[in-house]
Amino acid sequence: MNDKKLIFSGIQPTGTFTLGNYIGAVRNWGPLQDEYNCIYCVVDMHAITVRQDPVKLRQNSLNSYALLMACGVDPQKSILFIQSHVKTHAELSWILGCNTQFGELSRMTQFKDKSQKHADDVNSGLFTYPVLMAADILAYNADLVPVGVDQKQHLELARNIAQRFNQRYGDFFTLPEPYIPEVGAKVMSLQEPTKKMSKSDENPNACILILDDKDTIIRKFKRAVTDSDTEVCYREGKDGINNLMTIYSIVTGKDFAAIESEFAGRGYGDFKLAVGEAVADHLEPVRTEFDRLSKDKAYLKQCYTEGAEKALRYSQRIISKVYRKVGFVDKT
């Protein structure tokens, strides 16, 4: 590769991404390809920390792969692959796990949330999930990791693990920096705007899926929870409106002042409809491209096979050095 900085990021294969995934992370992945060397991954191994139907997981992973391409990731410019195709992630994860404290993992808020939600299956993979995430990043010695705000704690842990390894075995890993967008790093639920928008929300109106059709998107925005005020303006305490203004600003490129004057005296109904239409129009090309790509199974297969080969080659070099550093006997 050249001397550009290296970006790594991943997304769980939920089949279709939420507007939160899109705005907080994936939408930025395409444009970053021009400035950085980029490695992106569908993290199917992370997904099985909660129970998955195998048939659906396989389909969702393929759909997520195609959807990343439809959102602008170009497998000719980036390395785009499926995590379970590249064995180095699991290998490095073991070594990093031996350099991670039980206490550190116990403090992860996502673990606490998920173990409450899946109380009948608090498996050790759910607990060590952030170690595998650290391995994803460190297996490439990535400089920057574009994510939404909810992944910040995991990223701090990845830095701490890298730092500890460096202290024990001598400087080796780059300490990865989070790359969090200034606007849209936490898209909120449309029904409970103090909570993050998430696909696992039980209320389907809380969450926009980027493959939702135009009518569905508009209907969900029309039902968005706001407040008893009538003025469209960005202000503390107006969580619902602030969230809609953020979304509208991102899909139209208008700043908050322009949005406030556009909707001055017009009320929330008009505003919600405009946000719904703007989001649906913005996502239309993604849906069209996804439909086209997902039919071309042979092309997709070629892309993810080549992606995995490149990722393996790259990370293998790093893992071999890690094995030497920790004192494993050379195989050849």
Which residues bind to ligand TYM, rule: CB under 6 A? 8-12, 20-21, 23-25, 43, 46, 133, 136-137, 145, 147-148, 150-151, 154, 185-187, 196-197
Spatial separation of the C-alpha atoms in residues 142 and 28, rounded to whole Å: 17
Of 196, 220, 238, 272, catalytic: 196
Of 77, 87, 199, 254, catalytic: 199
Spatial separation of the C-alpha atoms in residues 21 and 18, rounded to whole Å: 5
- CB-based contact 89:43 (threshold 8 Å): no
User: Looking at beta carbons only, is 93 or 226 nearer to ligand TYM?
Assistant: 93
* Catalytic residue flag (residue 87): no
- CB-based contact 185:141 (threshold 8 Å): no
* Shortest Å distance, C-beta 207 to ligand TYM: 9
* Shortest Å distance, C-beta 321 to ligand TYM: 20
User: Could you tell me the CA-to-CA distances from 190 to 56, 242, 256 in Å, in that order?
Assistant: 26, 11, 19
- CB-based contact 68:36 (threshold 8 Å): no
User: Looking at beta carbons only, is 187 or 263 nearer to ligand TYM?
Assistant: 187
User: Looking at beta carbons only, is 153 or 262 nearer to ligand TYM?
Assistant: 153
Residue 76: half-sphere exposure toward Cβ, Cα within 13 Å:
1
Residue nearest to ligand TYM (CB): 24
* Catalytic residue flag (residue 114): yes
User: Looking at beta carbons only, is 154 or 287 nearer to ligand TYM?
Assistant: 154
Side by side, the strands of the sheet bearing 144-146 are 79-82, 37-42, 6-11, 144-146, 177-179
Of 114, 186, 220, 238, catalytic: 114
Nearest to 287 by CA among 99, 113, 67, 28: 67
DSSP β-bridge partners for residue 10: 41
* Shortest Å distance, C-beta 92 to ligand TYM: 12
User: Looking at beta carbons only, is 181 or 254 nearer to ligand TYM?
Assistant: 181
* Shortest Å distance, C-beta 46 to ligand TYM: 5
* Catalytic residue flag (residue 301): no
* Shortest Å distance, C-beta 284 to ligand TYM: 21
Catalytic residues: 114, 196, 199
